[in-house]
């Protein structure tokens, strides 16, 4: 009897651990630890080269390990608390790519030196680990653990420019408001657990569907608070107010990482929650989220209009983009999920380029203001072209990835009977043109007042070859150019990313149906 009881006990306390499938997560965790250990050794070589190399290898290894699992049948891990399906894999690939870009952007920057390169990279890797776990989690407990695992390192990273007040302010602000979001979420999760009696997404979904809980006040409050908590993290209006300050103050490589990866992680979570756990309540939350999407698009685009700081402008534009992304969630269909995933993939392409350009201007001592962009077209035509293409694709003009992304969102909105949201989306896009083009105008068009004589008759000026100081940082030029090129290529030939998005959406919706 005792042997059998022990057996049962043993099985209860230590669930089987699928090390092989968990490997990409373990590599990230191991990478973070190894980065810290390596960075303890003194010396310029270790700090400047070896530590980033260890961190980058960790990210790359994890990227490859995730990529191998693409198109494999979904697998439940750790007693069903994680699910490795194409949704998790695609989002993880996206997040890790964003982190890789951030490491390149941060390399040779002042932040890494000030914060200590070991700490910087280790925190980045932990944040990535948290995000990848979040998009794979299947259970409220894992959800919260993963969320905090990525939030806390980000609080620290935002304040990593130790000698800059704005950076510290950014870190503290993010800590306070982020914690508020976490608390709201946690509160919501508790209510949901209280109402349904389970923590697994699938079980919650079943409990709601079978238990006739659609009118249960406890549950509805829980769902509402949970969604609000996620909205905080995803900078969905009216819970977005922290975004501009934090984005502006944080070290720019971290802003670049956050703008893409946080969005991906939280939208991954949102898709899982709305498409699985809360799906039976679709008619309760969908109209609510639809209104939030419209408000977010409006607030983001209006907020971006007058910004002089490009990082603030991109923060507001990020808010607006969150509104677009929300449309795919609102419709609650496979088409919607596909559109959201596709747009997130595209968002990575269109968002990292501008940050690379901003960093190059910051390192040239010009700051992140619109004035720093002046005459970039002459000084650094390659950077200026990349930035131009990125702005055009963010605005969603044709033959760019942004156009195709918006096309899918519009299609899913109309298909899901939310045509009015599609109209809001395009009006927002038209509005967004005003501030994206301001950047383009600053780069290419000289102020009218300075012109003399007949227009267009001034002697031709040969483009300067120095790339405005960006030539000293070829890695920044490379990222800006690659991002711009990819935006155009995907705009003409969207199939590869589309296949990824389709896989992600299908893996997920086959479960809920």
Binding site for other proteins (CB under 8 A): 338, 392, 397-399, 403-404, 407-408, 410-411, 414-415, 419, 422-423, 425-427, 429-431, 433-434, 437, 440-441, 444-445, 448, 455-463, 494-495, 498, 502
Distance CA 51, CA 33 (A): 11
Phi-psi domain of 216 (left: phi exceeds 0; alpha: psi -120 through 50; beta: other): beta
Q: Give the closest residue to 337 by CA, choosing from 349, 345, 325.
A: 325
Task: State the nearest-atom distance from the C-beta of 388 to other proteins, in Å.
Answer: 9
Distance CA 317, CA 145 (A): 29
Task: State the nearest-atom distance from the C-beta of 502 to other proteins, in Å.
Answer: 7
* Residue whose token pair is 């534009």: 317
> Distance from first CA to last CA of the chain, Å, rounded?
43
* CA 278 to the chain's CA centroid: 23
Do the beta carbons of residue 314 and residue 250 sit within 8 Å? no
| Closer Cβ to other proteins, 315 or 384, answer by number | 384
Task: State the nearest-atom distance from the C-beta of 349 to other proteins, in Å.
Answer: 17
**DSSP annotation string for 121-148:** HHHHHHHHHHHHHHHHB-BHHHHHHHHH
Residues belonging to the chain: 513
- Paired tokens of 5: 């009881």
E runs forming strands in 150-202: none
Task: State the nearest-atom distance from the C-beta of 339 to other proteins, in Å.
Answer: 10
Distance CA 233, CA 254 (A): 15
104 CB-side CA count, 13 A? 20
Distance CA 128, CA 144 (A): 15
280 CB-side CA count, 13 A? 20
Kindly report whether the peptide bond that precedes residue 238 is cis, defined as omega within 30 degrees of 0: yes
- Paired tokens of 172: 């503290």
Residue 7 class from Cβ within 10 Å (0-12 exposed, 13-18 middle, 19+ buried)? exposed
Do the beta carbons of residue 391 and residue 439 sit within 8 Å? yes
Task: State the nearest-atom distance from the C-beta of 426 to other proteins, in Å.
Answer: 4
- Paired tokens of 38: 């390596």
| Closer Cβ to other proteins, 213 or 498, answer by number | 498
Task: State the nearest-atom distance from the C-beta of 410 to other proteins, in Å.
Answer: 5
Task: State the nearest-atom distance from the C-beta of 2 to other proteins, in Å.
Answer: 60
Distance CA 183, CA 175 (A): 12
Task: State the nearest-atom distance from the C-beta of 331 to other proteins, in Å.
Answer: 12
Task: State the nearest-atom distance from the C-beta of 441 to other proteins, in Å.
Answer: 6
Q: Is 381 helix (H, G, I), strand (E, B) or coil?
A: helix
Task: State the nearest-atom distance from the C-beta of 472 to other proteins, in Å.
Answer: 25
Distance CA 192, CA 274 (A): 13
| Closer Cβ to other proteins, 273 or 331, answer by number | 331
Task: State the nearest-atom distance from the C-beta of 338 to other proteins, in Å.
Answer: 8
């Amino acid at each position: 009897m005792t042997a059998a009881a022990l057996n049962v006990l043993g099985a209860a306390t230590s669930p089987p651990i699928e090390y092989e499938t968990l490997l990409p997560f373990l590599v990230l965790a191991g990478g973070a630890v190894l980065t810290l250990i390596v960075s303890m050794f003194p010396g310029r070589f270790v700090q400047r080269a070896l530590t980033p190399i260890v961190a980058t290898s960790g990210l790359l290894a994890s990227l490859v390990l995730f990529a191998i699992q693409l198109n494999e049948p979904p697998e439940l891990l750790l007693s069903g608390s994680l699910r490795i399906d194409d949704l998790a894999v695609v989002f993880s690939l996206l997040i890790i790519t964003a982190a890789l870009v951030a490491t390149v952007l941060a390399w040779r920057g002042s932040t890494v030196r000030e914060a200590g390169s070991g700490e910087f990279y280790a925190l980045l890797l932990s944040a990535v680990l948290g995000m990848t776990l979040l998009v794979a989690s299947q259970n409220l407990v894992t959800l919260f653990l993963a969320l905090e695992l990525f939030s806390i390192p980000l609080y620290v990273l935002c304040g990593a420019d130790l000698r800059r007040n704005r950076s510290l302010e950014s870190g503290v602000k993010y800590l306070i408001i982020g914690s508020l979001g976490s608390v709201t979420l946690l509160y919501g999760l508790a209510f949901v657990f209280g109402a349904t009696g389970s923590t697994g997404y699938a079980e919650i979904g079943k409990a709601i569907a079978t238990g006739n809980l659609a009118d249960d006040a406890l549950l509805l409050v829980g769902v509402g608070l949970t969604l609000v908590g996620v909205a905080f993290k995803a900078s969905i209006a009216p819970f977005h107010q922290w975004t501009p300050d934090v984005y502006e103050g944080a070290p720019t490589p971290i802003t670049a990482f956050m703008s893409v990866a946080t969005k991906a992680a939280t939208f991954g979570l949102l898709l899982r929650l709305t498409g699985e756990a809360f799906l039976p309540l679709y008619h309760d939350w969908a109209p609510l989220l639809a209104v939030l999407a419209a408000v977010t698009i409006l607030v983001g685009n209006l907020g971006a209009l007058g910004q002089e700081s490009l990082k603030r402008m991109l923060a507001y534009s990020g808010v607006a983009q969150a509104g677009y992304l929300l449309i795919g969630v609102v419709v609650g269909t496979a088409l919607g999920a596909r559109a959201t995933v596709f747009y997130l993939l595209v968002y990575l392409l269109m968002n990292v380029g501008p940050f690379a350009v901003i960093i190059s201007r910051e390192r040239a001592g010009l700051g992140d203001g619109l004035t720093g962009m002046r005459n970039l077209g002459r000084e650094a035509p390659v950077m200026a072209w990349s930035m131009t293409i990125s702005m055009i694709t963010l605005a969603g003009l044709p033959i760019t990835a942004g156009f195709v992304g918006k096309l899918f969102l519009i299609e899913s909105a109309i298909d899901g009977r939310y045509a009015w949201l599609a109209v809001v989306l395009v009006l927002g896009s038209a509005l967004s043109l005003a501030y994206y083009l301001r950047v383009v105008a600053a780069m290419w068009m000289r102020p009218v007042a300075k012109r003399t004589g007949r227009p267009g008759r001034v002697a031709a000026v040969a483009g300067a070859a120095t790339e405005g100081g960006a030539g000293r940082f070829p890695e920044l030029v490379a990222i800006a150019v690659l991002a711009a090129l990819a935006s155009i290529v995907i705009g003409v030939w969207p199939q590869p990313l589309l296949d990824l998005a389709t896989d992600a959406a299908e893996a997920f919706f086959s479960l809920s149906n």
